[in-house]
Amino acid sequence: MTHYTGLVDRYREFLPIGLETPAVSLCEGNTPLIELKHLPAQWGGKCRVLVKFEGLNPTGSFKDRGMTVAVTRAREEGSEAVICASTGNTSASAAAYAKRAGMICFVLIPEGNVAMGKVAQAIVHGATILQIKGNFDDGMRLVREIAEEMPVAIVNSINPYRLQGQKTAAFEVVDELEAPPDYHCLPVGNAGNISAYWLGYCEMAGHVTQVGEACGFSRDQRLFPPAIVTQSRPVMLGYQASGAAPFLRGEPVENPETKATAIRIGNPQSWDAAWAVQRESRGWFDECTDEEILAMQSQLASQEGIFCEPASAISVAGLMRDIQSGKVKEGSTIVCTLTGHGLKDPSVVGDLTLQSVPATLESIRNVVENKLNADTTA
């Protein structure tokens, strides 16, 4: 077995990266697909649900998949600086990969609406942080404008190399399951990731997608080893927070609001691509309230041992409802992407104050005894 050196090296022949170009990598990708053991049984129906835990990427979110390709390309093209607008995770990832490449990194973040862990990452990786008195959508507009004037490469998901990198998550799912799932559930903010997964699934199945055409470099089916070419593709389900749900309203949302800050976006950059995904996969969009999102984040942590971000938990919260209502068929295999790690934002999980006990065997024994008794009588 050879040392894993990241997804550019693993999937280079399917990416728009030269064969000789050195990858800017932190060994991202290759994340686990974990089967849920407890929750699906509680929802009725007989579905197999697996989560692709992208919180286990080097900076704690799936953004690293896109960033390794975007920054590798930016360096290959001779850029000295990258810039992005961010709800947090893009800036954390851009900052880390820019440093890895020896490049300058500028990030625009909305004041007061970025999780502390993500801000800390951008700081420790030495990014120049511009906290703006505006939201993500304002930041995105400014990034587009400044990149017209200054020699800075945009590494938001409007950079098509980001989607190219992110599509590799679909490759990994199919490799591991030896077939695509019946459904794939994702949180939707800018809708870059749902578009990227669809691109990946379509490439593996030898189908052309409008998303790939928009990117301009969809690969030919012949490039894939026959063993992984499959005709089937999943139905794609995208979930948005009720206060930031432009795909449900059918138009941009002026003042998006949700505690799931990673998807607090009113004007999605991949609007047309995501509608193409919905049509081509015969999927749908739906919304969840912040209460539903936080309840599922807590259940995943306390019952399955998986701590993801609020935005990530929406993929499972939405799926639960769609299984219970019968929209998702009995007996299906479903993959939900958990986009980011819960450690990014411990402040949302509620009261973090602890009780102290004396450092004596007696006090420890009392607590252990009470807890064990309570559990056996329950």
The residue among 297 and 339 lying less far from ligand PLP, judged by its C-beta, is 339
β-strands 235-241, 284-288 pairing: parallel
What is the helix, strand, coil percentage profile of the chain, to 5? 50, 15, 35
Q: Which two tokens stand for residue 20?
A: 């000789």
Quickly list DSSP for 75-94.
HHTT--EEEEE-SSHHHHHH
β-strands 48-53, 333-338 pairing: parallel
Assess contact for 342 and 293: CB atoms under 8 A.
Answer: no
Give least dist CB 36 to ligand PLP, A: 18
Assess contact for 185 and 323: CB atoms under 8 A.
Answer: no
- State which of positions 129-168 bind ligand PLP (CB under 6 A): 157
Chain residue whose CB lies nearest ligand PLP = 340
Q: Is 96 in the site for ligand PLP (CB under 6 A)?
A: no
The residue among 218 and 270 lying less far from ligand PLP, judged by its C-beta, is 270
The residue among 181 and 192 lying less far from ligand PLP, judged by its C-beta, is 192
Q: Is 58 in the site for ligand PLP (CB under 6 A)?
A: no
Give least dist CB 110 to ligand PLP, A: 14
| Binds ligand PLP by CB under 6 A, chosen from 8, 67, 211, 263 | 263
Q: Is 309 in the site for ligand PLP (CB under 6 A)?
A: yes
Residue 21's closest CA among 66, 69, 67, 54?
69
Q: Which two tokens stand for residue 15?
A: 């990416």
The residue among 181 and 189 lying less far from ligand PLP, judged by its C-beta, is 189
x/- map, 342-361, ligand PLP, by CB under 6 A: --------------------
x/- map, 63-82, ligand PLP, by CB under 6 A: x-------------------
Q: Is 17 in the site for ligand PLP (CB under 6 A)?
A: no
Q: In what order do the strands lie in the sheet with 153-154?
A: 128-132, 104-110, 81-85, 153-154
- CB neighbours (10 Å) of residue 133? 8
The residue among 64 and 322 lying less far from ligand PLP, judged by its C-beta, is 64
Q: Is 61 in the site for ligand PLP (CB under 6 A)?
A: yes
The residue among 9 and 155 lying less far from ligand PLP, judged by its C-beta, is 155
| Binds ligand PLP by CB under 6 A, chosen from 49, 95, 262, 288 | 262
Give least dist CB 157 to ligand PLP, A: 6
Give least dist CB 325 to ligand PLP, A: 24
- State which of positions 176-235 bind ligand PLP (CB under 6 A): 187-193
Give least dist CB 4 to ligand PLP, A: 23
Q: CA 254 to CA 330: how far, in whole Å? A: 38
Q: Is 311 in the site for ligand PLP (CB under 6 A)?
A: yes
Question: 219 in helix, strand or coil?
Answer: coil
> Any long-range contacts for 211-219 (C-beta under 8 Å, 24+ apart)?
211/163, 211/273, 211/276, 211/277, 214/160, 214/272, 214/273, 214/276, 215/160, 215/163, 215/164, 216/160, 217/16, 217/160, 217/164, 219/14
The residue among 9 and 163 lying less far from ligand PLP, judged by its C-beta, is 163
Q: Is 312 in the site for ligand PLP (CB under 6 A)?
A: yes
The residue among 63 and 259 lying less far from ligand PLP, judged by its C-beta, is 63
Counting residues that bind ligand PLP (by CB under 6 A) gives 18
Q: Is 109 in the site for ligand PLP (CB under 6 A)?
A: no
β-strands 128-132, 48-53 pairing: unpaired
β-strands 48-53, 33-35 pairing: antiparallel
The residue among 9 and 309 lying less far from ligand PLP, judged by its C-beta, is 309
Residue 204's closest CA among 172, 234, 171, 176?
171
Contacts with ligand PLP, residue ranges (CB under 6 A)? 61, 63, 89, 157, 187-193, 262-263, 309, 311-312, 339-340
